[in-house]
Amino acid sequence: MSVSTGSEIRLRKLTPNCGVEVLGVDLNHLSNSEMEAVRQAYVDHGVIFFRDQKLTPEEHIAFARRWGDIDINKFFPANQQYPEIAEVRKEKTQKTNIGGGWHTDHSYDQEPAMGSILLARELPLEGGDTLFANMYAAYDALSDGLKKTLDGMCAVHSNAAAFGAGGYYKNSDQAGGFKGESLVGEAVHPVVVMHPLSGRKALYVNPAFTVCFEGWTMEESQPLLQHLYKHAARPEFTCRFQWRDGSIAFWDNRATWHYAANDYHGERRLLHRITIGGEALN
């Protein structure tokens, strides 16, 4: 279904509750009114997609800077020419991909990143889609009793299990590209956040980085966390984005999860990611 924005830009929903394609736009030549329409789509939907965008690395960086300060990744392999760009790469010989499970980026930071602008550079012939889940919709669908329980709770987030010296990536065939194992850390955030742009409530826990509820043990936390994870990944809250040359996904880490499908062994996949800095969550 297409939705008019009042300009030449049109929005086409991927699914009823998650993700829209932004049509009729050239990201290299956005007028101020078009930029505002794109910004509103991002706020309203949490993840937006673009097709047929032939951005150079310099243009990718320039578009990102229209949204805020760039957060240079401490752990991902960086593009050698452009430190602002992190490379999401899987070589033909590798079995491990980057982001191969439901997560939201940077929830382990005191000020989690606003979002990331991911641009396709090299794609497998088949596979390599990215799935997204809408945490506004996930929160809205909770029972009133569970909402009441979660409101006011906080959770501990840590990146040690993913990026630490004994973590997942440093003990995989991606180890050579990853860095910063001494820079791991943790943060505490509300389980339900009031989104700083939309003012809507969103569920803010994720399987990759949420360790436990604040003041609870890990063992005590797991039953409720697993229930929330299963709930948030329900098909009606998700969409699946199929990459093509020139495709871009731009997601809001405070309102969505994402998951990179690892179904293209023996082929190379390279995407360029620029992450925009965020703020403390309430």
Q: Active-site residues: which are they? A: 103, 105, 258, 273
6 contacts: CB under 8 Å, gap ≥ 6: 37
20-23 vs 47-50, strand pairing mode: parallel
Closest CA to 23 of 2, 42, 6, 44: 2
b/e 36-73 (16+ beta carbons within 10 angstroms → b): ebbebbbbbbbbbbbeebebebeebbebbeebeebbeb
Q: ∠ at Cα 30 (52, 131), nearest 5°?
A: 45
> What one-character DSSP code corresponds to residue 78?
B
Half-sphere exposure (CA, 13 Å, Cβ side) for 201? Answer: 13
Closest CA to 11 of 113, 53, 21, 19: 21
Closest CA to 258 of 170, 135, 168: 135
Closest CA to 232 of 115, 151, 137: 137
Q: Tell me how crowded residue 204 is: count the other CB atoms within 10 A of its CB.
A: 26
Q: Which amino acid is at 26?
A: D
Which uninterrupted H or E stretch holds 155? strand 154-158
